[in-house]
């Protein structure tokens, strides 16, 4: 096999890989954006109607759809400009190598302890709080417009930030690893029509950042003192203390990759047991 053939095969494989990576990141960022999801569903419906019109020879419908295909892309760009920009920004902010800092077991336990102590204080005193934990997608655009802190994560600082009538009380805190990066962060509120009208701006902002990124937002209600968590474009509210703590531990845990089957593991364990018996 000549060098030219090898190079040609390599470029074709690279071409396909780039396309699939682009499709993967587009789908990953679009799936949590309600408006973009509805747009894609609309395009699929139009394509289905187009196929039906050609099969059944529906002249008028086909002619109208021709105009839709001719001017539709321009209309989509104009109408959905904010959503398209949001998706492109999310792609640009994605950290391909993962979060900047992977916590050790001790660091993770301490972070969970400090946050849980703080939310317990908020719960008992009915103090509203919004804490956003950055994961794979960078939240730098929100950090830039907030009050920089760059301090170790601790209960006292969180309680001070969210104490009523302080300057930073109404904003959100962004946590990176085991450090509080900033306070007073302002997030885009969710436009999800299914969200209960009883929930206020703090919950809508939490869901908004969960729709835009893979961050996990921790909320304590100012009115009821109850716990809620927004993640992957969904909001779970009125969680128990244990549910809240387990979700927090999961959010701070490093992602694990599995490269082998459970069956192989069982076989290895059986072989190891056999060796020990021998």
CA distance 62 to 65: 5
CA distance 153 to 165: 22
Mean pLDDT of the chain: 80
Question: What sign for the dihedral angle of Cα 173, 242, 213, 100?
Answer: positive
CATH superfamily, with its number, for domain 105-252? DNA integrity scanning protein, DisA, N-terminal domain (3.40.1700.10)
Q: Per-domain residue ranges for the chain?
A: 3-93, 105-252
Mean pLDDT over 52-57 rounds to: 86
Quick one: pLDDT at residue 31? 60
pLDDT > 70? residue 142: yes
pLDDT-derived band at 22, boundaries 50, 70, 90: confident
CA distance 89 to 108: 29
pLDDT tens column, 83-139: 666 666 555 554 443 444 567 888 889 999 999 999 999 999 999 999 999 988 888
pTM for this predicted structure: 0.61
- Comparing 270 with 135, which gets the higher pLDDT? 135
Question: Which among 209, 225, 135 has a CA at the least distance from the CA of 172?
Answer: 209
CA distance 38 to 201: 24
pLDDT > 70? residue 276: no
pLDDT tens column, 154-204: 999 999 999 988 888 888 999 988 899 999 999 988 888 888 878 888 999
């Amino acid at each position: 096999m000549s060098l030219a053939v090898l190079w040609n095969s390599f470029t074709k494989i690279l071409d396909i890989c780039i396309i699939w990576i682009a499709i993967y990141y587009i789908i990953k960022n679009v799936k949590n954006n309600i408006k973009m999801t509805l747009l894609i569903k609309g395009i699929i419906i139009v394509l289905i109607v187009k196929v039906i019109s050609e099969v059944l020879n529906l002249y008028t419908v086909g002619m109208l759809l021709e105009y839709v295909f001719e001017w539709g892309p321009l209309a989509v760009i104009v109408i959905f400009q904010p959503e398209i920009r949001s998706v492109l920004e999310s792609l640009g902010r994605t950290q391909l190598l993962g979060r900047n800092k992977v916590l050790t077991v001790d660091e993770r336990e301490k972070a969970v302890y400090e946050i849980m102590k703080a939310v317990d204080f908020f719960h008992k005193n009915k103090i509203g709080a919004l804490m956003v934990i950055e994961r794979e997608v960078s939240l730098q655009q929100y950090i830039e417009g907030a009050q920089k802190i760059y301090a170790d994560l601790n209960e006292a600082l969180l309680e001070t930030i969210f104490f009523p009538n302080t300057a930073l009380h109404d904003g959100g805190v962004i946590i990176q690893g085991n450090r509080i990066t900033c306070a007073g962060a302002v997030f885009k509120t969710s436009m999800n029509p299914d969200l209960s009208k009883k929930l206020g701006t703090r919950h809508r902002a939490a869901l908004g950042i969960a729709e835009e990124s893979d961050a996990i937002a921790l909320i304590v209600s100012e009115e009821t003192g109850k716990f809620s968590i927004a993640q992957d474009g969904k909001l779970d509210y009125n969680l128990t203390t244990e549910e809240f703590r387990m979700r927090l531990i999961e959010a701070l845990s490093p992602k694990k990759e599995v490269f082998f089957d459970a069956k192989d593991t069982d076989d290895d364990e059986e072989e190891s047991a056999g060796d020990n018996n021998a």
